[in-house]
């Protein structure tokens, strides 16, 4: 299932309030880290690091589930969630490994807690 389809399926399952709220700092970090892991998975795969790629991909999907659920619970419509995920993917690609990154990707695994 693609990232967008996964997020859309998740939003259809979650009941959403009528009005969308701003994205919280926690959700912002979760979605940015999900996107960062998405790109790291691709890089690891390209380098032949399949175990690392699988871990990053699994982490990305888990954080996308969490972030998508938070957006849906805040009232974001599925099409807006899809747009936001694409925006986070683009931003993370441009920011990863630079001083422009809003978060240190090294700290992103802490969002997964014991789930890893």
Q: 3-class DSSP state for residue 24? A: coil
Contact 85, 7 (CB under 8 A): yes
Q: Where are the domains of the chain?
A: 3-11+22-115
Residue 47: what pLDDT?
96
Q: How confident is the model at residue 101 (pLDDT cuts 50, 70, 90)?
A: very high
Q: What is the mean pLDDT of residues 17-27?
A: 76
CB-facing half-sphere around the CA of 66: CA atoms within 13 A: 21
Would the CA dihedral through 84, 23, 3, 98 be positive or negative?
positive
DSSP string, 34-79: HHHHHHHHHHHHHTT-HHHHHHHHHHHHHHHHHHHHHHHHTT--HH
- pTM for the structure as a whole: 0.82
Out of 8-12, 49-53, 54-58, 59-63, which region has the weakest mean confidence (pLDDT)? 8-12
Residue 3: what pLDDT?
64
Q: What is the mean pLDDT of residues 84-109?
A: 97
Residue 4: what pLDDT?
53
């Amino acid at each position: 299932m693609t990232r967008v389809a996964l997020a859309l399926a998740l939003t259809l399952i979650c009941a959403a309030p009528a009005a969308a709220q701003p994205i919280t700092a926690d959700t912002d970090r979760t979605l940015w880290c999900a996107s960062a892991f998405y790109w790291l998975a691709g890089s690891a795969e390209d380098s032949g690091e399949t175990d690392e790629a699988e871990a990053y991909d699994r982490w990305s999907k888990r954080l996308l589930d969490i972030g998508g659920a938070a957006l849906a619970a805040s009232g974001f419509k599925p099409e807006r969630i899809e747009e936001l995920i694409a925006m986070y993917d683009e931003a993370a690609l441009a920011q990863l490994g630079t001083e422009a990154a809003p978060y240190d990707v090294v700290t992103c695994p802490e969002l997964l807690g014991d789930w890893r």
